[in-house]
Chain A
Amino acid sequence: MKPLNYAILKYFTKVKEACADDVINALKGEYGSFKALKKPAVIEAIMTAEANGLLEETRFDADSKGELRVYYRAHEEGAATINSYIPD
């Protein structure tokens, strides 16, 4: 089992793009008991990774409830950096 933050970053290296809800849904099986697997904390972790060039924003929209959804992806260089620091 990886630390939660690592799992969040690794998830982006395995999908084309994802938003915070996608990350939470994908990780809740293994990390469901983690207090930090909450939407605000996950959004902050993703935006911090974006600020450091690991991820980049692809698009955004509003979900059926009108809540903002921002999608991110790990570009080639970001994915390579994530994979070099956090192997499978």
Chain B
Amino acid sequence: MSEVSGSVNASAVAAKKKLSSQFFKKGVSVAILSGMCYGLYSAFLTLGMSSGIWGDWYGVNTAALSAFVITYMLGALGSAINDTISAIWCIGIAAFKGKLGDFFRTLKTKPGRVMMFAAIIGGPVASTAYVVALQMAGSIVIPITALCPAIGAILARILFKQKLNARMILGIIICFSATLMIGSTSLGGDAPAGLALGIVIAFIAAFGWGLEGCVAGYGTSMIDYEIGITIRQVTSGLSNLIILVPIFGIIAGGGFGLSTGLVVDAITSGPAMIWFIVSGFFAVFAYSLWYKGNSMCGAALGMACNGAYSFWGPFFCWIVLGVVVGQEGWALAPIAWAAAIVMVIGILIISMNPLDLFRKKEA
């Protein structure tokens, strides 16, 4: 708290303390909620990408898609459709809240362009790097990409002079260890030929998400978070759909015909699209609350709270795909529950000095 005027009465002091505490608690709650929405969005996206035409593509493959298309292009297509639908949700929400005019006005400004840049780095660039790395190096890349909160905190320290002390670094390391515990359940003994390059590409993904988190978080201190997310999803959805998927089509040797055909097949597959509509809805809050949380409590704490998605992702996949839909193989390993507790401890250490809990409050 900064200066206080001499005539301030006790009730104003108490109200001021309450306001500051409420703002901090809201920031942490928003950031944690973003991780939960990320888990829900991942679960419904996975469900969408295993329903309708996707079930055929990844299964019997009557369309005779090449291994390249199945490995790389379908992942980009799934993200493209999810983010585009999410963008439609965002525009609808912004219109309902009377913010559509500000959305178009913000697009033309410097912070608006910075937000678009963050969206491209975190959207098509980092997401594609992640998929490619996963294919080249196997599951070893999962813990590498989990470094993104740490990278975000370091970048926020360098770029925006945000606080990052030894205690916060310790908390970030604890959260990273927890993510590593969860990632270990999917680690295989695979060591494919492209391992080294795959690991390098995985760092690009981690850097991209870290940069997006801290830049867009800072951007949200100037741009309304609901306008920020609309810019993010429109940019990411369209750049994925219009640029990335066609590029993959050309590399696959099928040109624009292949990408257009796959897009049409995907969006006319009703049983899949219904889940993309749900995943796109949760993606709105996964990203908007991530930005808002980062802007309210700083990138270090905001990204650590959001980083709990490494628990919420498998958790909601288990609930949605395992318990509700009845697919097998989604049960949550006991280590994931233990990791969730470790993660809470890590977040607590970043957000506050745990010793304060044991100190007597001054009268």
Residues of A within 8 A of B (CB): 1-6, 9, 33-36, 43-45, 47-49, 51-54, 56-62, 66, 68, 70, 82, 84-86
B5–A49 CB distance below 8 A: no
Give Cα distance in the complex from A5 to B295, angstroms.
14
Residues of B within 8 A of A (CB): 1-5, 7-9, 11-12, 15-16, 19, 23, 27, 97-99, 102, 105-106, 109-111, 160-161, 218, 220-224, 227, 295-298
If A61-B12, A85-B111 touch, whether A36 touches B1 (CB-CB below 8 Å) is: no
A68–B218 CB distance below 8 A: no
**B295: which of A52, A61, A70 is its contact (CB, 8 Å)?**
A52
If A3-B105, A35-B97, A61-B12 touch, whether A51 touches B298 (CB-CB below 8 Å) is: yes
**B218: which of A3, A52, A62, A66 is its contact (CB, 8 Å)?**
A52
Give Cα distance in the complex from A47 to B19, angstroms.
10
If A36-B98, A52-B160, A66-B11 touch, whether A58 touches B222 (CB-CB below 8 Å) is: no
Residues of B within 8 Å of A54, CB to CB, are 221-222
Give Cα distance in the complex from A57 to B5, angstroms.
12
Residues of A within 8 Å of B227, CB to CB, are 3, 5
What's the nearest-Cβ distance from chain A to residue B91, in Å? 16
B223–A5 CB distance below 8 A: yes
Excluding A35-B99, A43-B19, A47-B296, 14 further A-B contacts by CB distance (< 8 Å) are A3-B102, A4-B224, A5-B222, A5-B224, A6-B106, A49-B222, A51-B27, A51-B221, A51-B297, A54-B221, A54-B222, A62-B8, A70-B19, A85-B110
Give Cα distance in the complex from A2 to B221, angstroms.
15
What's the nearest-Cβ distance from chain A to residue B199, in Å? 34
Q: Give 6 nearest A-B pairs by CB, closest first.
A: A52-B221, A68-B15, A3-B102, A62-B12, A35-B98, A59-B5
A53–B16 CB distance below 8 A: no
Residues of A within 8 Å of B221, CB to CB, are 48-49, 51-52, 54
Give Cα distance in the complex from A85 to B161, angstroms.
17
Residues of A within 8 Å of B1, CB to CB, are 57
B4–A68 CB distance below 8 A: no
Residues of B within 8 Å of A53, CB to CB, are 160-161
